[in-house]
Chains A and B, each alone.
Chain A
Amino acid sequence: KQEVTQIPAALSVPEGENLVLNCSFTDSAIYNLQWFRQDPGKGLTSLLLIQSSQREQTSGRLNASLDKSSGRSTLYIAASQPGDSATYLCAVLISNFGNEKLTFGTGTRLTIIP
């Protein structure tokens, strides 16, 4: 059974710092890995998707990497801003006899201190 872990559960950093969020998964047979942002009381917003054949994806100040062999992904946020405060979730997509299933980590709650 696929298990996804995100450590730490919570992180506080001063504004302007660069930071890295970690995601690890137990089964490397994945289709893709997706990073989401969730604001309190809100839904999930997709940030980046890395396909299994890719090593990284970038969007603005965000860069996500994927190392399937070691079962790890990182989300790098450059020059953090208070508006980046949110919970960040990673999820891996696997296929089971043609049925695709997404398994989520429990998230990292990020606080950017002004």
Chain B
Amino acid sequence: NAGVTQTPKFQVLKTGQSMTLQCAQDMNHEYMSWYRQDPGMGLRLIHYSVGAGITDQGEVPNGYNVSRSTTEDFPLRLLSAAPSQTSVYFCASSYSSVPYEQYFGPGTRLTVT
């Protein structure tokens, strides 16, 4: 199994540009989520999904959109990038049952200038 994969690894955007961060998992996990990691603030939940067609907001959802059309994929869209969205983004997945162990992707480092 490839586990949780993320593309791209690095991305530089100009303010106002849009892009999609890709996340895929091959473990048939129902639950998928997106986090951002900023120095001194830990990982914060952006959006999550408990299954195909179901998404919800996390702690810091503003400026981001998600959709989940398949069990495997959970893309994160930045509609109009801002410098405040410079961060490292991690995707995670798990089964929606005990023990709910979370598996993380390798991350995408995004810089918005």
A residues with a Cβ closer than 8 A to B are 4, 31-32, 34, 36, 41-46, 49, 51, 89, 91, 93, 98-102, 104-107
Contacts and interface: CB of A to CB of B under 8 A. Distances in A.
Contact of B107 (A42, A91, A105, A107): A42
Contacts, number: 59
B31 A49 contact: no
B61 interface: no
Given A34-B101, A43-B90, A102 B42 contact: no
A59 to B, nearest CB: 13
Contact of A101 (B48, B98, B105): B48
Nearest to A103: B45
A107 to B, nearest CB: 7
A99 B56 contact: yes
Interface in B98-113: 98-107, 109
A102 B33 contact: yes
Contacts of B50: 98-99
Contacts of A89: 42-43
A33 B41 CA distance: 19
B42 A107 contact: yes
Interface in B73-99: 90, 92, 94, 96, 98-99
A106 B41 contact: yes
Contacts of A106: 40-42
24 contacts: A31-B99, A31-B100, A32-B100, A32-B101, A34-B102, A36-B104, A42-B106, A43-B106, A43-B107, A44-B90, A46-B102, A46-B104, A49-B99, A51-B98, A89-B42, A93-B102, A98-B50, A99-B48, A99-B56, A100-B31, A100-B96, A102-B33, A104-B44, A106-B41
